[in-house]
Structure 1
């Protein structure tokens, strides 16, 4: 009996029984690697990559797996963009402003001095022009971006001596995460040092660094900065809301099925929300521990904040004069920020300001 006769007389059951059905192939398994710029000890930031990996596996029923590698395992912490550009890895988790040596525009993907806070950054990236403008820029490096989470407004760092005036900053050797902040601080006399988080403690202990900034109480306590630098300043005016990013090699992403592309996007949203919520939950408790252990918590003076603002605006103007692309992205961000600041005057700012002054 030929195949047409089987179908005619026996229907689909007969087709299957006769082994005459078209071959059905399961979707091919996908295996990616994500290289982080952070150590495993930071369960907040590095944990975002782990959350992403777990979510991808769960949503795909195990057909799509992403192995997570800490800084130094596959490449140095600051080598991830080069690896993505040449296709060595499919994905990275990092702070874009680490790569301002390649182009200052990278800073806008993470944080710039006196920039957006966490909610504003999320809004600009996802519902303003931020993601669109930055992905156009990242295309030069064969990659696109997804949020990995936001730290919220960071602390102003750890110092081995008190910083009372702008003059106290002159000659200070300070580890900074990268970006335009270093240029602004250089105008105030600070000698910027860019190094991975895992190397900072020893440098402070030996005195080759005078100060460091990283994130906030929970991460900073884990890294032990309070043991080698007693003065803890706030706020980190250079990181009002630092966004961490998942960078994905463009070719690798385009090679995914529509389903797997959606899984990557959904998993990044899960990881991003989890990171920010984790910071908000853990930072207050860690700050109380630090203060109980004799950390001297101090605000930056208005003089220092004003000097930082002036220096930062000079840096932005200098870069705008050199790069039309920089100017386009910066001006778009500031226009968005002006509307956000207008709105927050009537919402979060008023509410939070009141609530911090009452006894619960």
Structure 2
């Protein structure tokens, strides 16, 4: 019997019973996933990255693959999302890997480490270097697969009640600083605090912390940090180009059709570029508005930058001696970073330096 005649005569039920069209059925199957974010809904840039991703998945699947997006705290705590993906409570999460350095310091290399790479360099390492391959090998230990799904670009250095004028001003400073950077800040005399974005303002207002960093002007303005700590530092030497990831439960991912896997890959790549574009477009206006409202900008002093660099390099050496996961990934990361800096110091830095001194 010809296949067309068989399909026409048997109908869909007959085809399914005969088991002759599983690929067609799988490609057209309706599917609904849940995504847990580590961020509050008020941040349309970083939380919005998950919404951009989910919308694209829906569009590219013709509405058959739907992903509901849940803000930090809705389904689970903001810092509980990796556990949720790992144990299959949710199918995926949108978060910054360095939040989970307590599980293994290697998580931080998937996002940003002090004096790491800028956003373009990070993307180059991920997509053209060994970054994505190495991080995915590491994340297998946690039953997850990762996809780059956003980058904020270089961040600001945080909000302080008083400006930091020397290393001495860091002694005993209760500083909300994201994830792994706290390890270096602690070696410099700070008392690091790892607090979710939605809880920072209250902690700063109540005096539970003395200073806090989040991302940059656009998000920081939305969160109102300038109202309780007027001094704004730059740059965030701990976040030259932090990457946000989509973590997907390995079993859930492997259960997808080839078409849906391709859609996940394409949608995360779109969201990855979109987030950086939004930050670059929105931060200039927000910074001008903050300064007009009384924010006082200041650069970190040289002795602070020098000590931070020294302590960061010492920490990475120590970790390489005791954590084989870190050593494997960081050795490749460090080599790629050195090559990128050699290149960027000429064309990129030369052009940027000239343009930023012009009156346009």
**Normalised by the size of structure 1, how large is the TM-score?**
0.94
The answer for the alignment partner of 1:239 in structure 2 is 239
The answer for the alignment partner of 2:326 in structure 1 is 326
1:304-329 per-residue CA deviation (whole Å, 9 max, x = no partner) reads: 10011011111111111111221221
Specify the SS of the correspondent of 1:40: coil
Runs of 4+ in 1 over 3 A off after TM superposition: 11-16, 18-26
The answer for the alignment partner of 2:306 in structure 1 is 306
The answer for the alignment partner of 1:205 in structure 2 is 205
- Does 2:324 correspond to 1:354? no
The answer for the alignment partner of 1:106 in structure 2 is 107
1:311-355 per-residue CA deviation (whole Å, 9 max, x = no partner) reads: 111111111111122122112111101111111122110000000
| Aligned-residue offset at 1:15 | 8.0
The answer for the alignment partner of 2:41 in structure 1 is 40
- Does 2:354 correspond to 1:342? no
| Aligned-residue offset at 1:53 | 0.6
| Aligned-residue offset at 1:85 | 1.0
The answer for the alignment partner of 1:94 in structure 2 is 95
| Aligned-residue offset at 1:20 | 6.6
Q: Distance in 2 between the 1:111 and 1:322 partners?
A: 20
| Aligned-residue offset at 1:12 | 5.8
Q: Distance in 1 between the 2:106 and 2:5 partners?
A: 62
The answer for the alignment partner of 1:280 in structure 2 is 280
Specify the SS of the correspondent of 1:288: helix
| Aligned-residue offset at 1:188 | 1.0
The answer for the alignment partner of 2:18 in structure 1 is none
Q: Distance in 1 between the 2:308 and 2:169 partners?
A: 13
Specify the SS of the correspondent of 2:148: strand
After superposition, the CA RMSD in angstroms is 1.6
- Judging changes above 3 Å, is the alpha-carbon distance between structure 1 residues 125 and 20 closer, same or farther for their aligned structure 2 residues? closer
1:133-181 per-residue CA deviation (whole Å, 9 max, x = no partner) reads: 11111001000100111000000000011110000000000111101x1
The answer for the alignment partner of 1:79 in structure 2 is 80
- Judging changes above 3 Å, is the alpha-carbon distance between structure 1 residues 86 and 351 closer, same or farther for their aligned structure 2 residues? same
Unaligned runs of at least 5 residues, structure 2: 16-20
The answer for the alignment partner of 2:262 in structure 1 is 262
**Normalised by the size of structure 2, how large is the TM-score?**
0.94
Q: Distance in 2 between the 1:273 and 1:160 partners?
A: 34
Task: Mark the structure with the bigger radius of gyration.
Answer: 1
Deviates more, 1:26-35 or 1:129-138: 26-35
Specify the SS of the correspondent of 1:45: coil
Specify the SS of the correspondent of 2:272: helix
- Judging changes above 3 Å, is the alpha-carbon distance between structure 1 residues 15 and 108 closer, same or farther for their aligned structure 2 residues? closer
Q: Distance in 1 between the 2:148 and 2:125 partners?
A: 12
The answer for the alignment partner of 2:186 in structure 1 is 186
1:113-149 per-residue CA deviation (whole Å, 9 max, x = no partner) reads: 0000000000001111111111111001000100111
Residues paired across the two proteins, number? 350
